[in-house]
Structure 1
Amino acid sequence: MHLIKTAEGQQAFKERHADLGQRLRSAFLLFDGNRSLLQVLEATSAMGISKDDILALVSRGWLAEKTGAAVPAAAPVSELQPPALAPAEVDEKSIAGRYQKAYPMAVSITGGLGLKGFRLNLAVEAAMGYEQLVELAPRIRSAAGDKAYAPLHKALFEAEKTQ
C-alpha cells in the first residue's frame, strides 16, 4: 500500500499539530506515494513508529491511499535523485553508518556557504538522524550546487560495497 499526504495532513504538518509529534513528522515526510507502507515502517522502526501510528494518521485524514497508475519503471530520473531503498538495504546499522558518514560532510558543505547557508547550517546541525538529514539534502544541493553536493549524495544514498 502506497500512501500520500493529504491537504489536511500538510496543513497539520505546517501548523505543527500536537497529534503530529516529531517521530510522526519524520514518518509523515516519507509518504510521497513512491514508498510503500512497509518501506516507511522499516525506515522508521528505530524511532518506534508502528503500523498503528500510521493508521491513526490515515483515520485523521492526513494520509490517504495513492490512487491511479504507478509511475513507469522507465521514467527518466535525475542522476542525483535519492533512490528508493530496497527493504533489504534499510537496516539500523546501515542507516546509522550513513548518518555518521554524511553528517560531517553536510556540516562542512553548509558551513562553507557563509551567511548564505547560515540557516541551512543550523538545520543540519539540528538534524537528529538519517531521516532528517535526508529531508535537508535537496536544500543542501540547491544551495551548494551539484558538484559540492555529490559526495554527500553518495554518503546518504549509495550502499557500501563489502567484499
Structure 2
Amino acid sequence: MILVKTEAGQQVLKDRSVPLTPRQRSAFIQFDGKRSIDDVLGSGLGIGREEVEQMVALGLLAPLAGQPPAAAPAVSAAPAPAASSGRSRQQRYKDAYPIATQLTGSLGLMGFRLNLQVEGTTSYEDLLALAPKIRAAVGPEKAAALDKALND
C-alpha cells in the first residue's frame, strides 16, 4: 500500500507540532505517494510497522487516493480516545504517566532511553505518541493498563 502525507502531516512537517523521532521523520518524508509501506520499511531507516501505523492513527499519513479502504493498515496502536469517557486529556496524562514510568523503569538498562523519553513528556499527546514503543518493549499484556489510562 502507498501512503501520502495528509494536510495535517504537511503542517507537522513544517512546524514540528507532533514530536517525531529522527527515524520517524526520515521515514515520514519518504511517504511521497510513490513508495509503498514495504519500500519505506525496507529502506534501512530502522522504523517499524507500528510506528507507521501510529502516524496513520495520528492523521499524518493516509492511503493514496483510489486505493480501497480495506487496504489501509490495521492500526494496532491504542484506539482513539472515546469522547464519552468524561476525562480530559490532562487527566488522562496524569493517570497514564505513572504507569508509563513504572513500565519503562522495570525494563532496566534496556529501557533507560525509553524511560527518559517518558519522563520528558509534558502532554497527553506526547505520551500517546510513545505508547506504541512502550507496548513493543513490555508486551501488550503489561501495556493494557497504560492503554486503559490513555483511552478510557
Q: Same fold (TM over 0.5)?
A: yes
CA distance in 2: counterparts of 1:135 and 1:68, whole angstroms: 28
Q: Identify the match of residue 77 of structure 2 among 69, 73, 81.
A: 81
Matches within 5 A, 1:96-111: 96-111=90-105
For 1:135, the aligned partner's letter is A
Matching residue of 2:3: none
Matching residue of 1:67: 65
Matching residue of 1:25: 18
Contact (CA 8 Å) 2:103, 2:138: kept in 1 or not?
A: yes
SS class of match (1:25): coil
Percent of residue pairs identical: 38
Query: Relative to structure 1, is the Cα distance of residues 105 and 70 closer, same or farther in structure 2, using a 3 angstrom cutoff?
Result: farther
CA offset at residue 102 of structure 1? 0.1
CA distance in 1: counterparts of 2:148 and 2:15, whole angstroms: 31
CA offset at residue 148 of structure 1? 1.2
For 2:108, the aligned partner's letter is G
Q: Identify the match of residue 88 of structure 2 among 90, 94, 111.
A: 94
1:122-158, CA deviations, whole angstroms, 9 ceiling, x for partnerless residues? 0000001001101111110111111211100111122
Q: Identify the match of residue 124 of structure 1 among 118, 125, 146.
A: 118
Q: How many residues align?
A: 116
1:53-79, CA deviations, whole angstroms, 9 ceiling, x for partnerless residues? xxxxxxxxxx8995234634xx8957x
Q: Could you state the TM-score of these two structures normalised by the residue count of structure 1?
A: 0.53
Contact (CA 8 Å) 2:81, 2:150: kept in 1 or not?
A: no
Matching residue of 2:49: none
For 2:89, the aligned partner's letter is I
Query: Relative to structure 1, is the Cα distance of residues 26 and 124 closer, same or farther in structure 2, using a 3 angstrom cutoff?
Result: same
For 2:78, the aligned partner's letter is P
Query: Relative to structure 1, is the Cα distance of residues 143 and 32 closer, same or farther in structure 2, using a 3 angstrom cutoff?
Result: closer
Matching residue of 2:136: 142
In angstroms, what is the RMSD of aligned CA positions?
4.1
Q: Which runs of 5+ in 2 are unaligned?
A: 1-5, 29-53
CA distance in 1: counterparts of 2:57 and 2:133, whole angstroms: 20
Which is greater in Rg?
Answer: 1
